[in-house]
Structures are given as structure tokens and as C-alpha cells.
Amino acid sequence: MELLYNKKLGVSPTSTKEELKVMKNLLSAVVLVGLCSVCANAQVKNPLGKLGSAAVKGVKSFTVSDAEVIGYANDYMKWMDANNPVCKTSAKDKGMQTVADRLGQITSAIPADLTKELNLNVLSYYVVDVNAFACANGDIRIFAALMDLMTDDEILAVIGHEIGHIANKDSKDGFVTALRISALRDATGALGGKTAAKLTNSQLGDLAEALGHAQYSQRQEIDADAYGYEFLKKCGKDPVNMASSLGVLLKLQEEAGSSQNSKFKNLFSSHPDLKKRIETLNTK
């Protein structure tokens, strides 16, 4: 969750090991929210901070169709990709080429019918942040620093988890909520019906901020874990890698520390315990 108007903060995780080490300590709290956020953002203020209670209650008055959600999600992801370093095999940077090649090999295991059904588009951002996210239109972004910490099959498990959020409509529901909240920032930005229009840069920024602060429920995270487990089997991979990927995150949490008064503890408090999630997967 480290990307709103990133201004090209990308740094090679393979060439900046010291920076990655620092980021692991500072950002492990981000990824441990449950492998992902609803989407990604930067270091921003609480999007609800400037909204009065009456405005928050007015959120329910906004309606948006499925087609409009996908349209807004497409615009949002175009904006995100334009403002963050996307790894491509055609990139001049060798590190970005390597990440893109590796991700392409990993995603080749995804069944073609699933890719078509959910309109999946999995790419990597070349940033030191340890995270991944899925968007309502089927876009999934895996951060290069996260890939640097996991095996290919563990990364595929993360992708499966993210696909689970898309398939279970979690990403859509979170995106709709963020659309409604961000629309309240500007009276001219009302969403839904005939008033819906192309989002401005400012509105996209507000949307990214709202998405970055959104969190999946405990039930949604557990269900996404279960989806990832079954997904690995469909890909012909050992499903134990779903629990193994969580184990990598658990290690980061332990390295970062999580005292009762720490900000990490507060951030994790509303999410499933990683140990419990791993135990649940290991009983399958």
C-alpha cells in the first residue's frame, strides 16, 4: 500500500539490498494486513478525516453499475500504471526485464479459461515495497520486493489469493466503497447513472487514498487463502505453498516485532492471525 502518485519511487530490490532490509522493517505491517490491500496507495492521511458524519451517511446515496465499476477500475489502473514503474520484458533496465520474465513464467501456470473469465492481467511494479493487490477489473500487481522474498510457487500462491478476492467480489465491493467515499470529496464528482464521468487526476488521487486505507474482513482473507490453496492445485502446484507464503510474511512480522503498544499490533488487530491462518491451511 505504498503508491499514490508514487513519482517513480521504484528501486531495484536486487540492487538495493540495504534499502530492502529497511523497507522490510518499515513496511511489513503493510503486507501483513493479509497479503494485500484492496488497492495500493502512498503515505497519506485518513480519507475520512475531512468528512463530516452527515457526509459519511450520504455515501449510501451513491449508486454505480457493474459496468461503471469496471470502467472506473480501468481508468484507475491506467493511472496507477502510468505513475509507477511497470516491469516489462522490453524494458531497458535489466532488473525490470528479469522481474517481468520471471513473472511471465510464473503466471504461465494459470489456466487460460480462468484468465479469460476474470480478465486477469498480472504485472509487477519495480518498487521496494513489500505488497500485492488486486483491482475490480481483474488487474493484479505484485511488487518486485515481495517477489524477491519468495519462491516462484509462493508467488503463484499470492497471485491465487489475489484472484480469490476478485472471484469472491471482495475487490469489487471494496472498490465501490472507495468510489463512494472519494466522490464525497468533491460535489462535482458524483458517481453513478448519467452523472458518471471520467475521473480527474485529483479524483483518482482521492480514490487511491480511499483504497489504500480499505481493509478486507477476516472472513474475506480466510476465504481468499482457501481459494489460493485450491488454485495451486488447479495449476498443478503443491498447495502447501499457500501456507508457505504466509510463513514468509509471519517471519517478517516477527522480525519487525509486534508489542502490545506498537502500531503494528494496532494495524493487525482487525485481521486474522497469521499463525492461525497457516494452521487452518495445514489442516486441509
Ramachandran sector of residue 8 (left: φ over 0; alpha: ψ -120 to 50; beta: rest): left
The one-letter code for the residue type at 76 is Y
End-to-end alpha carbon distance in the chain: 30
Q: Which amino acid is at 211?
A: L
* 99 and 145 Cβ atoms separated by less than 8 Å: no
Could you give the CA distance from residue 96 to residue 90 in angstroms, rounded to a whole number? 9
User: What is the rounded distance in angstroms from the CA atom of residue 100 to the CA atom of residue 77?
Assistant: 18
Q: Which of 41, 9, 19 shows the shortest CA–CA distance to 212?
A: 41
Residues carrying an active site annotation:
162
